[in-house]
Amino acid sequence: MNNDIYAKIKREYDLKRQTKIDNANRKKQEIYEKYPELAKIEEEINNLALSITRNILNSDDITRQVEEENMKAKLDKLKVKYENEVKRLNIDSSIFLPEFDCKICNDTGIVQKDGIVETCKCFKQALINESYKQSNINKLEEENFETFDIGFYSNKRDKEKYGIEKSPLENIEHIRNIAYIFAEHIDDKDQKNLLFVGNTGLGKTFLANAIAKKVLENGKTVVYQTAPVLMDKVIEYKFSYDKTGKQKEQYNDIFDVDLLIIDDLGTETMSNNKFTELFNIINTRLLNNKKIVISTNLTLNELYKQYDERVMSRLIGNFTICKFVGEDIRLKKKRIN
Ligand SMILES: Nc1ncnc2c1ncn2[C@@H]1O[C@H](COP(=O)(O)OP(=O)(O)OP(=O)(O)O)[C@@H](O)[C@H]1O
Ligand SMILES: [Mg+2]
Ligand SMILES: [Zn+2]
């Protein structure tokens, strides 16, 4: 997990927790101003608790024990007195307590289980949410493996129409399995990268999002970008003189993240510069075993025509090619609505 993200969430947690504690204290203070007798009892309780602690440190064993028992009895009495007073004044004592969002970790982000310190579930989720935000993907709640609907793909085989033996349904089930295994084993050297090809509206971006979500859930980093935006950003970065820290970070992320998704390859206007950069990105990532998912509307033939042999041979060799076939789901959904 990205350290910046961790630090950011930790800061937010600390701030949130402190604000809740301050609010609770403020409410308490207001009540005490109204009912000074309550404040007085609490002061007595605090003083007594302090004395007990001091006593443990100072006196010898026997006198200590006797005194301690006396004091503790007194403390208990005071506590009862306090509670009765609260009841008498008809005060809801729960407002004295900070209202933490997470009842498991009290917004510390940490839980202790059998002496082992662990990150709380809520903190992990906050990390994932933040990663989503920073990864340019905003459809992960809708487009994921759980919501991926194979009902949109026909079960009729038609080699002439689809260009493959299998039916679109058989085909998509196979591709979905490949994508799932890929997402779960993102670090595995033996896993190839994925190249999604196929006509518009067949679920390429959807499945790429599903992969992104799973990878993020496993605590890995993802950058999603469409090819035109990605290439523009890269070129802008390369040819700008004063690069900001953020720009540098974004540029490095393209090479460093666990998964890079390049959507809509082939829709960008190509130039020699862009071409060199694209080759550099893919090549560097391949060498470092960092996974890539590429989606494109172009056929393999068109890819060969548009890009250089060098890029293409690397693509073909290191990618599992998933050919999406079927009817435009965008249109189907429009008809339903
Ligand atoms: N398996 C699916 N289940 C439910 N909805 C789907 C599925 N596949 C695609 N869709 C929906 O259909 C529409 C088009 O899908 P998507 O954007 O993934 O297509 P695409 O193959 O990326 O198309 P393009 O080549 O134009 O980018 C989207 O609204 C998407 O949510
Ligand atoms: Mg798409
Ligand atoms: Zn928690």
| Domain boundary, last residue among 100, 124, 156 | 100
Q: Which ligand is nearest to the CA of 145?
A: 1
Which of 329, 334, 337 is the best mutation target for the ligand 1 pocket, counting ligand atoms within 8 Å of the beta carbon and taking the most? Answer: 329
pLDDT tens column, 108-133: 999 988 888 888 888 877 876 777 67
Total number of domains constituting the chain: 2
The CA distance from 292 to 320, in Å, is 11
Question: Is there a domain that residue 271 lies in?
Answer: yes
Share of the chain above pLDDT 70, in %: 96
Residue 153 CA: nearest ligand 1 atom is 1
Question: Is there a domain that residue 230 lies in?
Answer: yes
Please indicate whether residue 266, judged by its CB atom, sits closer than 6 Å to ligand 1: no
| Residues 6 or more apart whose Cβ sits within 8 Å of residue 164 | 171, 323, 325
Q: Are 230 and 201 in contact (CB under 8 A)?
A: no
| Spacing, Cα 209 to ligand 1 middle (Å) | 10
Question: Is there a domain that residue 125 lies in?
Answer: no
Residue 321 sits in the same domain as residue 191: yes
pLDDT tens column, 180-228: 999 999 999 999 999 999 999 999 999 999 999 999 888 788 888 999 9
Residue 143 sits in the same domain as residue 222: yes
* Domain carrying residue 182: 136-336
Question: Is there a domain that residue 249 lies in?
Answer: yes
pLDDT tens column, 43-99: 999 999 998 888 777 767 777 788 888 889 999 999 999 999 999 999 988 888 899
Give the burial string for 241-279 (b: 16+ CB within 10 Å, else e).
eeeeeeeeebbebbebbbbbbbbbbbebeeeeebbebbe
| Residues 6 or more apart whose Cβ sits within 8 Å of residue 295 | 195, 196, 197, 204, 205, 208, 261, 262, 263, 264, 265
Residue 142 sits in the same domain as residue 95: no
